[in-house]
Amino acid sequence: MNLRHLEVFLAVVECESFSGAAEHLIMTQPAVSMQVQAVERHFGAPLLQRRNRRVVLTEAGQAVYKWASQVLRTEIDTRRIVDELKHAETGRVAVGSTVTIGSYILPPILTRFKQLHPGVDYGYKQADRDELVSDVMAGVLDCAVLIARQLPTGLAVEVLGSEDMVFICAPSHPLANRKRICPQDLANEPFIIAPRNSSYRRIVDELLASQGLKDVSVFMELDAGEGAKRSVQQGLGIGVAMRSGVDWEIAHGLLREIKLPGPTALVEIGMIYRPRQNVSPMVLAFMDYLREQVGAHLNRPFELPAPLERPRARRAAASAGSSH
C-alpha cells in the first residue's frame, strides 16, 4: 500500500461512488476498485459498503479514513517544508563569533540576512575562540567567525579579510598628542588587555612581542569589549583592540589611536566550519552571504554618520522663543 492508494480511497469516500472518483481522478473505474482493494487487503477488513446506490464507510472504514486523511495532510505539510528548505526559505543557522566580531561586525549582517530570508531561525553564540572551535568541531555550531590563526587541524578555514590591531589611549593621556611615538615609549605604560591564557590574549602577546614589548605591565585584565574600552577611556592604561571595535570612539574623540612607526599589525578574520558536513540550503545560503558581507565590511573604510538635522518645526519654535 502506498500514498496513491490512500488518495484513491479518500476520493471514493468523498465522491460516494467509484465512478465519481474515477472521473475526478481521470482513472478507469476498475483501476479505482483495485486501489481500494489494496487498502482493504492491507487492513484485512472491508472498508466500504453500498447503501442506497451510495458508497459509505464501514465502522473499520471510518477509522482508516480518519487515519488516511491525517497521513496525507502530514505528507503535504512535510513536502511544503522540504520545498522551502530546498529553496532556502526556512531553516536554522547556528553561528558563533568572538566578542569584537560579534558586537561590531556581525549584527548588521545578521539583520540584513534575516530581512532577505524571514524564515531563518538563528542560534547565535558569542564566546572565546577556543570554545567556538570546540563547538564547531562537535557540530553544535554550523560555522563561526574569528581571528584565523592558531586553529587546530580538522577544520575548514576560509579567510574573509583582514583587520587592523591598534593601540589606544584616552584623549587626556600624555601620549595622545605626541606626534612621534616609538614602541619603547609604551614599555613603562600600564596596559589593559585580555585575561591570561585566553586565546585573544595569545594574539595580543604576539602583537606586543612583534613591537619589542614582551614584558609590559598589565594593570587590568578584561575581555575585549565595552569594559576594556571604558577603562582605557578613563585613562587607566593603554589598550590593544581590533579597529572595528574602536572606530566609532576614535572618530568621536573618545579614544585616541597611538600610531607606531612601520606597517599596521594585521590579523586575518576567517570563517571556520566542519569540512564535508551535510548542511541545509539555508546554512549554505547564510555562509555564502557571510563570505560576501564580512569581506565587504573589512574592506570598507569607516565613515562618520551624517549629523542629524533638526526638524524645521523645532527650529522655527526655537527662533520664535528667542524673539520674546
For the stretch 164-196, what's the b/e string if a residue is b when 16 or more beta carbons lie within 10 angstroms of its beta carbon?
bbbbbbbeebeebeeeebeeeebeebebbbbee
CATH topology of domain 163-267: D-Maltodextrin-Binding Protein; domain 2 (3.40.190)
Q: What's the grid cell of residue 281?
A: 540550503
CA distances from 260 to 96, 114, 175, 312 (A): 33, 41, 11, 46
- The phi and psi torsions of 181 (rounded to 5 degrees) equal -130, 135
pTM greater than the 0.75 cutoff: no
Dihedral angle over CA of 44, 50, 55, 56, nearest 10: -70
Task: Encode 6-30 in three state secondary structure.
Answer: HHHHHHHHHHCCHHHHHHHHCCCHH
For residue 279, the model assigns a pLDDT of 80
The sign of the CA dihedral 26, 30, 33, 38 is: negative
Question: Contact 161/176 with Cβ under 8 angstroms?
Answer: no
Q: What is the pLDDT along the chain (324 residues), one digit of tens a residue?
A: 888 899 999 999 999 999 999 998 889 999 999 999 999 999 999 999 999 889 999 999 999 999 999 998 888 877 776 765 566 667 889 999 988 888 888 999 999 999 988 889 999 999 888 899 999 999 999 999 998 887 888 899 999 998 888 999 999 999 998 888 888 999 989 999 988 888 788 888 888 888 888 888 899 988 767 888 999 999 999 999 988 889 889 999 999 999 888 777 888 999 999 988 778 888 988 999 999 998 888 866 544 444 444 444 444 444 444 444
Helix ranges restricted to H, the chain: 3-15, 18-25, 29-43, 59-86, 99-100, 106-116, 129-138, 199-210, 226-233, 243-251, 281-298, 312-322
The sign of the CA dihedral 122, 285, 75, 2 is: negative
Longest dimension (CA), the chain: 104
For residue 320, the model assigns a pLDDT of 44
Residues in Cβ contact with 35 at an 8 Å cutoff, skipping those fewer than 6 apart? 4, 5, 8, 9
For residue 313, the model assigns a pLDDT of 41
Give, as one character, the DSSP assignment of residue 263. Answer: S
For residue 300, the model assigns a pLDDT of 60
Given 3.40.190.10, 3.50.50.60, 3.40.50.300, 2.60.120.10, which CATH number is that of 90-161+269-298? 3.40.190.10
Helix ranges restricted to H, 183-311: 199-210, 226-233, 243-251, 281-298
For residue 85, the model assigns a pLDDT of 59
Q: What's the grid cell of residue 100?
A: 569584537
Q: Do domains 3-85 and 163-267 have the same CATH topology?
A: no
Task: Give dist(CA 240, CA 186) in Å, integer.
Answer: 12
CATH class of 3-85: mainly alpha
Burial of 219 (0-12, 13-18, 19+ CB in 10 A): middle
For residue 88, the model assigns a pLDDT of 61
Task: Give dist(CA 275, CA 277) in Å, integer.
Answer: 5
- The phi and psi torsions of 105 (rounded to 5 degrees) equal -105, -45
The ranges assigned to domains in the chain are 3-85, 90-161+269-298, 163-267
Rg of the chain taking only CA atoms, in angstroms: 33
Q: Considering only CA atoms, which of 307, 207, 195, 224 is closest in space to residue 267? A: 207
Which amino acid is it at 100?
A: T
Task: Give dist(CA 242, CA 102) in Å, integer.
Answer: 12
- The phi and psi torsions of 197 (rounded to 5 degrees) equal 75, 0
